[in-house]
Structure 1
Amino acid sequence: MTRWAFDLGNTRLKYAPLLDDGGLGRVLAVAHADADFEARVAQSLPPRIDVAHVANVAPPALAARVLQLLSRHCTRISLARTQPALAGVRIAYADPRRLGVDRFLGLLATRAETQGATLLVGVGTAVTVDLLDASGRHHGGRIAPSPTLMREALHARAPHLPARGGHYTAFASDTDDALASGCEGAAIALVEQSLRDATALLGQPPLLYVHGGGAPSLLPHWPQARLVPNLVLRGLAVWARTETGVDA
């Protein structure tokens, strides 16, 4: 059986074949904004896929486009949904629908790879923070704008403030560096405070896992962190093994 995993995020579609051993094949990625987005995706897929496992956090119109595209290649499409408990993870949210499926799948992948308490940080359009203890209990999390989104929001309200550029420094002596330092510093402080709070709650510091497109630029500030690429796709592989997907 041919199975693929698809992570439809806010800026990109990432996808990969699922291997017989439960791992991922070569990961591909195409930005939604690319003019030839649909053609590039279609050309990269095999003519026929038995099952497509999909995680979607994109707007409805874009999701409909992508699902229509996948339906031309896939016999069955299984949409991942957040569950109260699955694969050793028990979420903190009373209403599972309120926890984004990307965060849920990240927790599944984390639990599959380590039995230790973990603070999971995603850096994409938003910065998400989730705490998972050693028993698999999710203690909830935090959401904030990413440094990139902060810069874009400032630029939209004050166009003279550039949306890009600058370098992080303790005390900047020009505007570009001050913007980079302030926006990156907000994310750094959020994670560091979350680590302190997690340590107080659990009685010991958790592991720090970081993922997402914006993670590499922040990683130098957390020498103890582990970069975990393609975490949502890896969570989809766990989801696929449970065979609890909901058909589209």
Structure 2
Amino acid sequence: MENPFGKITTIETVMDFFHDGMTLMFGGFGGVGSPPTMIDGILKKGVQNLTLIGNDTGFPHIGIGKIVSHGRAKKVIASHIGSNPVAGQLMQDGKLEVEFSPQGILAERIRAGGVGLPAILSDIGMESEIVSKDKPRYVLNGNEYLIETALTAEVSIVFAKKADVYGNLIYDKSARNTNPLVAMAGKLTIAEVEEIVPLGSLDPDEIITPGVFVDYVIFSQGVNWKWAWE
């Protein structure tokens, strides 16, 4: 088993990066494309008071919804929470702060964070109190825009179909969703994958997330994985 870049590691090792009160960004759409092994590891460790950033809150027992449903999050930044009634109840009870961001704007805020931009300008939701409340505005060429701050996180967690030992990633169909953007926006990015292959095995045109954005790679539990060269 070769690990020339030191990126291939275990779930036990990466658990050291998760702690109470941290900001955690996650890939996935309704649970599809969210890393199940790391989510279960966070639950088992008992990490709480998390600020979660991602497309949605999954379902009560699927994806990041597990963490939300166990009351481990203090704030969520997402495009919607409707698929998880537990999240809605926690919000209504004042136990979960929710910042809503239109889906495309949320994706662009994450992308901006990943490329080092401090904010973006948008005219989406200017008439909506939910979207525009307390946000500063900027006039450019006679047009008014909302200033949408970029989003980053202490740790980003993503799920991919395949990785090489440098951390170059490819995704499985719709599981690609927000994962490529999320992978860019973490100060530390951990990828959970189903298969790891030698360097040079991936067609460059297949690679969606370059390994430069990925710090660690772990195998996903519950899949019949093996090292591709064994």
Query: TM-score surpassing 0.5?
Result: no
| Structure having greater relative contact order (Cα 8 Å, sep ≥ 6) | 2
Structure 1 or 2: larger helix share? 1
Structure with greater Cα Rg: 1
TM-score between the two structures when normalised by the length of structure 1 = 0.27
TM normalised by structure 2 equals 0.28
